[in-house]
Amino acid sequence: MLTLDQINAASATDFVALLDGIYEHSPWVAQAAAAQRPCATLAALKHSLVQAVRQAGRERQLALLRAHPELAAKAALATPLSAASAHEQGQAGLAACTPQELARMRQLNAAYHARFGWPFILAVRGPRGHGLTRAEIIATLERRLAGHADFEFAEALRQVHRIAELRLGDRFGVQPRAGELVCDRAEALAAHSDPGFAELGQLTVTYLSAAHQACARQLQAWMQEAGFDEAGVDAVGNVVGVYHGAARSARRLLTGSHYDTVRNAGRYDGRLGVLVPLAAVRALHAQGRRLPFGIELLAFAEEEGQRYEATFIGSGALTGDFDPAWLEQRDADGVSMREAMRAAGLPGHMPAIAALERDPARYLGFVEMHIEQGPVLDALDLPLGVVTSINGGRRFLGEVLGIASHAGTTPMDRRHDAACAVAELVLFVERCAAARPDVVGTVGLLQVPAGSINVVPGRCRFSLDLRATTDAARDALAADVRAELERICARRGLAFTLESTLCAAAAASAPAWQDRWEAAVRALGLPVQRLPSGAGHDAMKLHEVMPQAMLFVRGGNAGISHNPLETITADDAELALAAFTHLLEGLARE
């Protein structure tokens, strides 16, 4: 087994030899990374190799891709596989392809190569490391074949790095067992899904559904098994675990995230931030260690706002922000929240809910780990990022009203085309948001209602989702967009409506807590990447009453989220756990 000491002590030539085969037929990668030693951690070594490829320029990157064999059963290959490739492809069961699978894969490989000019590359051991199924491999090939060439080039390089990561793990004899457990538990939780989705193999866990209650029971059991001193379900369905500090009355670090999901969700959104602290406490308990502070882990029952017109039910209960009127709200099936609570064995009345409000004086602060749900870390080839601020946001639903008229008979200068006006607005939002730092703007809903191919649109509906790192930037964007809409409609002789549907304040990370995350990332030998959170998180709620800071974990597949393709690797989960442990240790030393 290779060690970091060997790596750091070796001559450049020996270093290249030690890493032979990590990057397929491409010793130049290790050569370029040799000067970056010493590497404090395996993560640092991986990072220096990744950086070598990132800085090599497109030609060498393309050569690296082309150095890889075509992905298929051994028998189908014109050129021999490297031993490592053969082993990996064997593990993935590619040697056992049916003739139909083989034919399909050959056909897709040929189409892929013809389209992009390099072979299809996939880390067939997958994010968990135990191998993708042949069906998964074929589905991935089909999906990526349809992508854009620039995107696919970057994705192929990311797969090369993932292959290297897995090979390095083997060579160092290091297996991310805790990270794998996080992945396995995310998978196990995903076995519970609401009716109508479970049958399709889709993950959907809405507030207080049977699947939701099953998740709560499972999380509670895991907390008990991990050695939490207390583990229970509270009056809004939060699963609450407490691991006392050395003194039972010591102040606590609050951490956690949500376990409900959107419809047809990914497996890590929210849940990662529960499973990682669970693993950390498990390790502490296994060592019989108590920290100078307690750890209170919250698996929040609700954050996604899917079943009721209410969000942050779980974290809002802790900040005294539960609207009593919510209890009478009814879901699509007419079930009130109060009825749903009682059916789930919860009290379903305000006194019990109001009692959940926390006294901030008893807490050090709140930290939340979360999958990024965006492409930034994946594009930078960085496993972790430190959140500077959770963006504030405003949402609007709008409609432009013009005059529907005959598409053939209405001259261009006599039109009052509602869709043209909205098209102008869409591009204004894009241009305006792109020109300002840390601002995003999206028109996600767009429709000409009851339109016809031969009718000039008389109406066009749209949505606006505007977010910024500060409330001032958010409001300035919203004001500019509204003013532009007014100008567009005045110029075109149109009317409009614009209804505000959401206004959320930005939540800047508490500097001291952001510093603690940064120190933890540095301790792993990784560069500190700061980024705002575009999505809202439970930390936004806790922000109202105590200091908070978040850590983001890279999402694969370009960070896609609210989607079954959402994924993280076991290695990244392991790094998240290591970072959280560093944060705990640092806090203990303060």
Do 126 and 86 contact (CB within 8 A), yes or no?
no
Q: How far is the CB of 372 from a second copy (least distance, A)?
A: 6
Q: Given the rule CB under 8 A, which of 188-196, 204-212, 273-281, 560-568 is the region that contacts a second copy?
A: 560-568
Residue 397 C-beta: closest distance to a second copy, Å: 8
Q: State the Cα angle at 114 between 112 and 120, rounded to 5°.
A: 30
Neighbours of 435 (CB within 10 A): 8
Residue whose CB is less far from a second copy, 147 or 232: 147
Q: Which residue, 379 or 528, has its beta carbon nearer to a second copy?
A: 379
Decide: is 388 part of the binding site for a second copy (CB under 8 A): no
146 binds a second copy (CB under 8 A): yes
Kindly state the smallest distance separating residue 153's Cβ from a second copy, in Å: 11
The least distance separating a second copy from the CB of residue 318, rounded to whole angstroms, comes to: 23
Using rule CB under 8 A, residue 470 touches a second copy: no
Residue type, 162: R
- Among 401, 476, 519, 528, interactor with a second copy by CB under 8 A: 401
136 near a second copy (CB under 8 A) = no
Tell me the chain's radius of gyration from C-alpha atoms.
Answer: 26
Residues 527-546 that bind a second copy (CB under 8 A): 533-536
From 41-49, 129-137, 390-398, 575-583, give the range in contact with a second copy by CB under 8 A.
390-398
**Residues near 159 by Cβ (< 8 Å), separated by ≥ 6?**
121, 122, 123
Which residue's CB is nearer to a second copy, number 287 or number 409? Answer: 409
Asked if 111 is part of the footprint of a second copy (rule: CB under 8 A), the reply reads no
**Which CB atom, from 56 or from 407, has the smaller least distance to a second copy?**
407
Q: Binding a second copy by CB under 8 A: which of 210, 397, 508, 588?
A: 397
User: CB-based contacts of 52: which residues, under 8 Å, 6+ apart?
Assistant: 29, 30, 32, 33, 36
- Considering the complex, state which of residue 138 and residue 397 has its C-beta at the smaller distance from a second copy: 397
467 binds a second copy (CB under 8 A): yes
478 binds a second copy (CB under 8 A): no
If the CB atoms of residues 505 and 535 are measured against a second copy, the closer one turns out to be: 535
Coil/strand/helix, residue 86:
helix
**Does 559 engage in binding with a second copy (CB under 8 A)?**
yes
Q: Which is nearer to a second copy, 61 or 533 (CB)?
A: 533
| Total of residues contacting a second copy (CB under 8 A) | 75
507 in contact with a second copy (CB under 8 A): no
Q: At what angle do helices 99-116 and 149-172 cross, to 10 degrees?
A: 120
Which CB sits closer to a second copy, 213 or 306?
A: 306
Residues 6+ apart with CB under 8 A from 450: none
- Strand-pairing partners, residue 490, are none
482-516 CB burial, b ≥16 within 10 A, e <16: bebbeebbeebebebebeeeeebebbbbbeebbeb
Site string for a second copy, 346-385 (x = CB under 8 A): --------------------------xxxxx--x------
CA distances from 6 to 14, 49, 172, 524 (A): 9, 16, 11, 19
Contact status: 411 vs a second copy (CB under 8 A): yes
Q: Is 560 in the site for a second copy (CB under 8 A)?
A: yes
Helix H, strand E, coil C: the string for 411-446 is CHHHCECHHHHHHHHHHHHHHHHHHCCCEEEECCCE
- Residue (343 or 495) nearer to a second copy, CB: 495
Helix, coil or strand: residue 216: helix
Residue with tokens 């500077």: 388
Window contacting a second copy (CB under 8 A); options: 52-60, 211-219, 332-340, 391-399:
391-399
Figure out which of the listed residues 258, 395, 541, 554 binds a second copy, where binding follows CB under 8 A. Answer: 395
Q: For a second copy, which is the closer residue by CB, 181 or 387?
A: 387
Q: Are 133 and 139 in contact (CB under 8 A)?
A: no
| Options 164, 420, 524, 576; binder of a second copy; rule CB under 8 A | 420
Contact call for residue 564 and a second copy (CB under 8 A): no
**Is 409 one of the binding residues for a second copy (CB under 8 A)?**
yes
Q: Which residue, 127 or 457, has its beta carbon nearer to a second copy?
A: 457
Q: How many CA atoms lie within 13 A of 81 on its CB side?
A: 18
Which are the contacts of 573, defined by CB distance < 8 A and separation ≥ 6? 176, 178, 179, 180, 182, 183, 272, 275, 276, 553
In the stretch 421-450, what mask flags binding to a second copy with x, by CB under 8 A?
-xxx-xx--x--xx----xxxxxxxxxx--
Helices 471-492 and 418-435 cross at an angle (nearest 10°) of 150
Considering only the stretches 13-21, 280-288, 395-403, 469-477, report the one whose residues sit in contact with a second copy under the rule CB under 8 A: 395-403
Q: Rounded to 5 degrees, what are φ and ψ at 261?
A: -135, 165
Of 357, 362, 359, 363, nearest to 322 by C-alpha is: 357
- Establish if 558 lies at the interface with a second copy (CB under 8 A): yes
Least separation in angstroms between CB 198 and a second copy: 20
d(CA 171, CA 178): 19
Where does 117-148 have alpha helices with state H? 134-145
Closest contact distance (angstroms) between CB of 476 and a second copy is 16
Min dist CB 371 to a second copy, Å, is: 10
Pairing of strands 363-371, 252-258: parallel
Give the binding range for a second copy (CB under 8 A) out of 46-54, 166-174, 320-328, 388-396.
388-396
**By CB under 8 A, is residue 93 in contact with a second copy?**
no
DSSP per residue, 223-278: HHHHT-SEEEE-TTS-EEEEE--SSTTS-EEEEEEE----TT--SSTTTHHHHHHH
